[in-house]
Amino acid sequence: MFDTRELGRRPGALKRLSRTVDSPGDLGTEVIGVPADAQVEVELRLESVMDGVLVTGTARAPLTGECVRCLEPLSHQCEADFQELFSYPDADDRSRPADTGDDAEEETFRIEGELFDLEPVLRDAVVLSLPLQPVCQEDCPGLCPECGVRIAAEPGHQHDEAVDIRWAALQELTGSQGTGEPAAEQAKSPRSGGDEPQEK
């Protein structure tokens, strides 16, 4: 929770602050996220406006996960920017346009007893900033499709060329034909050298 009492309700009043907070947990996806025991550095700019307090900030936190190409553990640093208006409980909503359709479902944040809870905003900002396909390095070659070895650990890794079983029968057929037709086909051919019946 963050306190807004020093701002009062004077439009234009500003306050800047930096704080380190514990990770609220569940900041991540299946492949990468902020560890539950990590700390998040938050830099905030609080500005008093007519309807509430406009909060603009940046959050920085460590990330851990695994590379989607080679499955090796990785660690990165997350930096997420955000901006949100926290409304006063008695803010006059009559001056705002009526919400229709999906807009009515939009979440609003309010100040309660001079305090506001940044966690929902922080959570959304951090999760949306995470990479969809995290990699240990941009040019990670991944795993060998033949045996699963990590190619980056063995740059010269390769396998002897193997014949795909789907093409083996075709290759055998091609080899059996050699330079001419199969024997069975030659026997059926009128050019096989046998006597042809003569017309009477």
Give the model's confidence band at 187: pLDDT under 50 very low, under 70 low, under 90 confident, else very high. Answer: very low
- In the DSSP assignment, the letter for residue 45 is E
Greater pLDDT, 51 or 152:
51
Q: What span, in angstroms and rounded, lies between the C-alpha atoms of 97 and 26?
A: 35
Q: What span, in angstroms and rounded, lies between the C-alpha atoms of 130 and 33?
A: 7
3-state secondary structure of 165: helix
89-103 residue pLDDT tens: 876 554 444 444 444
Q: What span, in angstroms and rounded, lies between the C-alpha atoms of 151 and 107?
A: 47
| Alpha-carbon torsion (191, 194, 197, 198), positive or negative | positive
Centroid of chain to Cα 12: 38
Give the model's confidence band at 16: pLDDT under 50 very low, under 70 low, under 90 confident, else very high. Answer: very high
What ranges make up the beta strands (E) of the chain?
Answer: 2-3, 14-22, 27-28, 32-34, 39-48, 52-66, 73-87, 109-110, 115-116
54-109 residue pLDDT tens: 999 999 999 999 999 989 999 999 999 999 999 888 765 544 444 444 444 456 88
Query: Does an H or E element contain 176, and which?
Result: helix 165-177
Q: What is the mean pLDDT of the chain?
A: 77
Q: How distant, in Å, are the alpha carbons of 44, 67, 161 from that of 134?
A: 28, 6, 32
Question: Comparing 22-31, 114-123, 128-137, 175-184, which segment has the lowest mean pLDDT?
Answer: 175-184
Q: How distant, in Å, are the alpha carbons of 10, 21, 104, 157 from that of 132?
A: 42, 25, 29, 29
